[in-house]
């Protein structure tokens, strides 16, 4: 246990086995963390794992179950709802922790604020040090160095108090990829937890475009509809989705991308989205006060 806070820390790393060098560098950066050792579980999502350090626990899945389901399996490797540790870090397999005090800073933050449920790290390019606007989880993203309370978080660069999972459940398995973090964030906020973006907690990660994933446009649209259907009060569902439709058109995607987007949008309405648990209206007001009303 950490002498300062007494909070134990674990880490979940999801990999498809195609970045062994980057994965090893990430694990080395986790091993260098100050304070009590961070327990690590690596989940091979539909692929065999390379040889890893002896103290790293591994789970090999025979098929790619998607990002949220894969991370949920990593959570359960730490006991039901991750209860064997107090905090779980979720780190992309091609990321790197440049600071050796990240785990200790997380321990201190959660110990100091009992209402804090999730911390979103700042993602920075290892060569330029720049942070993309899309990696700042708020509307006012021009200053990535400003820490603040936020309404969502970054999936591969965060820390979660495991009591959040015990109270509101894990990530939505059915999403496979895209918006699973916001679904969890909204449920956590609805349960009274807070989310912080911390610019001093950094994960190095190469600059990439999310559209590199072949399923990007379809999944983004489908899961946006599922997100609204699962979590928003009925009057806000058409407003939220109309705003995102207009934003998508304003960005002038290519014809194939737009075709995939509309296919996903239709799929979101015609397929099961999982349990519906609409947030309270006081949570809507809370999100609004935090700078991101749930209509955008």
Q: Kindly list the strands in the beta sheet with 87-92, ordered across the sheet, starting from the edge strand earlier in the chain.
A: 57-61, 39-45, 9-15, 87-92, 157-161, 116-124, 194-204, 148-150
Q: What is the dihedral of CA 137, 140, 143, 144, to 10 degrees?
A: 0
pLDDT per position as a tens digit, 124-160: 999 999 999 999 999 999 999 999 999 999 999 999 9
| 207-235 pLDDT per residue, tens | 877 655 558 999 999 999 999 999 999 99
Distances (CA, A) of 2 to 108, 114, 285: 10, 17, 37
- pLDDT on residue 58: 98
The pLDDT, as a whole number, for residue 211 is 55
Closest CA to 288 of 254, 240, 238, 250: 240
Whether the per-residue pLDDT at 97 is higher than 70: the answer is yes
For residues 217 and 260, is the Cβ–Cβ distance under 8 A?
yes
Task: Give residue limits of the domains in the chain.
Answer: 9-208, 211-278
The arithmetic mean of pLDDT across residues 164-193, rounded, is: 98
The number of CA neighbours under 13 Å toward the Cβ of 164 is 30
Answer whether CATH 3.90.550.10 is correct for domain 9-208.
Answer: yes
> Considering the chain, what is the average pLDDT of its residues?
95
**First and final CA of the chain: distance in angstroms?**
41
Please tell me the distance from the alpha carbon of residue 221 to that of residue 224, in angstroms, as a whole number.
Answer: 5
pLDDT (tens digit per residue) in 179-207: 999 999 999 999 999 999 999 999 999 98
Residue with tokens 């928003």: 232
For residue 87, what are the contacts with CB-CB under 8 A and spacing of at least 6? 7, 8, 9, 10, 106, 107, 110, 159, 160, 161, 162
Confidence (pTM): 0.95
Q: Does pLDDT of 236 surpass 90?
A: yes
């Amino acid at each position: 246990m950490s002498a300062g806070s007494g909070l134990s820390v674990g880490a979940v790393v999801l990999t498809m086995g195609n970045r062994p060098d980057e994965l090893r560098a990430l694990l080395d950066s986790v091993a260098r963390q100050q304070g009590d050792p961070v327990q690590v579980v690596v989940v091979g999502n539909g692929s065999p794992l390379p040889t890893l350090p002896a103290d790293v626990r591994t789970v090999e899945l025979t098929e790619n179950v998607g990002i949220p389901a894969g991370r949920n399996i990593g959570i359960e490797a730490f006991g039901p709802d991750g209860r064997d540790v107090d905090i779980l870090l979720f780190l992309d397999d091609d990321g790197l922790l440049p600071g050796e005090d990240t785990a200790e800073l997380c321990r201190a933050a959660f110990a100091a604020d009992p209402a804090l449920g999730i911390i979103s790290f700042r993602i920075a390019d290892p060569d330029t040090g720049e942070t993309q606007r899309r990696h700042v989880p708020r509307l006012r993203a021009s200053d990535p160095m400003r820490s603040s309370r936020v309404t969502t978080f970054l999936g591969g660069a965060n820390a979660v108090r495991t009591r959040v999972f015990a109270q509101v459940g894990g990530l939505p398995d059915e999403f496979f990829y895209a918006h699973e973090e916001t679904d969890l964030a909204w449920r956590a906020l609805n349960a009274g937890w807070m989310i912080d973006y911390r610019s001093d907690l950094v994960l190095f990660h190469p600059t990439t475009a999310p559209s590199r994933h072949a399923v990007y446009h379809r999944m983004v649209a489908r899961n946006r509809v599922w997100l609204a259907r699962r979590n928003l009060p009925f009057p806000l569902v058409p407003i939220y989705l109309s705003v995102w439709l207009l934003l998508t058109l304003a960005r002038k995607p290519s014809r194939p991308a737009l075709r995939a987007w509309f296919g996903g949008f239709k799929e979101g309405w015609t397929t099961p989205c999982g349990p519906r648990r609409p947030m309270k209206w006081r949570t809507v007001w809370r999100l609004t006060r935090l700078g991101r009303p749930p209509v955008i």
